[in-house]
Structure 1
Amino acid sequence: MSKVTKRKHVMNEALWDDYELPKENQNVVKVLKSKGNNLHEVTTPSGEEYLVSMPTKFRKNIWVKRGDYILVEPILEGDKVKAEIVKIMNKDSIKYYKENNVWPKEFNEAKKEIKTDEDNIFVNTNRKNVNVYESDSDSSDPSDSDDDGGGDNDK
């Protein structure tokens, strides 16, 4: 099988275009960070944190980043690594899980905490702010006024 064909089959298997509900031993978890060597630290809806491994067939074909949701299946032989990745969740699969009431409610709560206030907008400190407004006390300084009688216009 060629590299391209293998990658196509692996991507289809990982993303599962035909949506399937998780089996009773599978769990949805959130990726916290990558630990290297195809290991990722995840958190469960209950708050438990542990390591999961990326199966060999997914390596170099699929990437997982912080904040992604994945479906994992527990492995019995590991002490530190407690599960293996089965599926990387995308927007459509998350929506399907929510419609079937399989999605953990704890992960819904995390989405609501994100605020869209203007205070959270990034401020570029590398440029001067053109719209700097001076206070009224600075503009009423008597040394800046033209009616003081001094200056170059005296004859």
Structure 2
Amino acid sequence: MSVTTKKKHVERELFEDYSLPEEHQTIVRVVRPRGNNLHQVVAPTGEEFIASMPPKFRKHVWIKRGDYLVTEPIPEGNKVRAEIVRILMRDHVRFLMQNNKWPMAFSEGEGDDKEENESYSDSKEDNEVSHRLQRVQLGSEEPSESDTESEDELLMENPNRRRIYIDSETDSSDSE
């Protein structure tokens, strides 16, 4: 499977999979990255442990502090005690809250938990923009000028890439 095809399947799973976690799976919140695709997470019980990111998500999905994940326990793990199964987006969190599967420890919130939950209660307009962005990425809709302006604010830029600026005016004057 090519890299592009693999990325397409991972993105589709990430945005379109609205399944409930199984009995042995746990919803956790990312506390901080530890490096080497390891993340320090906290469970609804308050227990902190390390979760590993499987190869299918590496270089395709970025996880930051405050994100919510679904993990599966690793029975033989001493330090790394779970593996990431799914990364939860805003719509997934809403879906879990509607189905009463969201942990009460994350919904009540104290301090920064409360701020995280407030960030998930977006307005209808923000939700509409994100759905439009997904449709444009899938190629089912042409972006309008106003859509691209608001979507540019939502897209995160990768600071690890150099920007290449092309000045079209100097190119055309050189050829004359």
Question: TM-score if structure 1 supplies the norm length?
Answer: 0.69
Check 1:65–1:106 CA distance in 2 against 1; reply closer, same or farther (3 A cut): same
Check 1:112–1:53 CA distance in 2 against 1; reply closer, same or farther (3 A cut): closer
Hey, what does 1:78 align to over in structure 2? 77
Cα offsets for 1:5-45 (capped at 9, x unmatched): 111112223x1513101000000000000000000000011
Hey, what does 1:123 align to over in structure 2? none
Hey, what does 1:11 align to over in structure 2? 11
Task: Map residues 83-94 of structure 1 onto 2, 5 A cutoff.
Answer: 83-94=82-93
CA RMSD of aligned residues (A): 1.7
Task: Map residues 1-155 of structure 1 onto 2, 5 A cutoff.
Answer: 1-13=1-13, 15=14, 17-110=16-109, 113-114=114-115
The secondary structure found in structure 2 opposite 1:67 is coil
Aligned-pair distance for 1:53? 0.0
Structure with greater helix share of residues: 2
What amino acid maps onto 1:29 in structure 2? V
What amino acid maps onto 1:10 in structure 2? V
- What is the CA–CA distance in structure 1 between the aligned matches of 2:113 and 2:42, rounded to whole Å? 18
Unaligned runs of 5+ in 1: 117-155
- What is the CA–CA distance in structure 1 between the aligned matches of 2:105 and 2:4, rounded to whole Å? 38
Check 1:63–1:113 CA distance in 2 against 1; reply closer, same or farther (3 A cut): closer
Cα offsets for 1:23-76 (capped at 9, x unmatched): 000000000000000000000111000000000111111111000000001111
What amino acid maps onto 2:46 in structure 1? G
What amino acid maps onto 2:101 in structure 1? V
Structure with larger Rg? 1
- What is the CA–CA distance in structure 2 between the aligned matches of 1:46 and 1:29, rounded to whole Å? 10
Cα offsets for 1:68-117 (capped at 9, x unmatched): 00000111121000000001001111011001100001101227744x9x
- What is the CA–CA distance in structure 2 between the aligned matches of 1:65 and 1:96, rounded to whole Å? 21
- What is the CA–CA distance in structure 2 between the aligned matches of 1:112 and 1:7, rounded to whole Å? 31
Question: TM-score if structure 2 supplies the norm length?
Answer: 0.61
- What is the CA–CA distance in structure 1 between the aligned matches of 2:60 and 2:93, rounded to whole Å? 21
- What is the CA–CA distance in structure 1 between the aligned matches of 2:91 and 2:77, rounded to whole Å? 32
Give the structure, 1 or 2, with the largest relative contact order (CA under 8 Å, sep 6 or more): 1
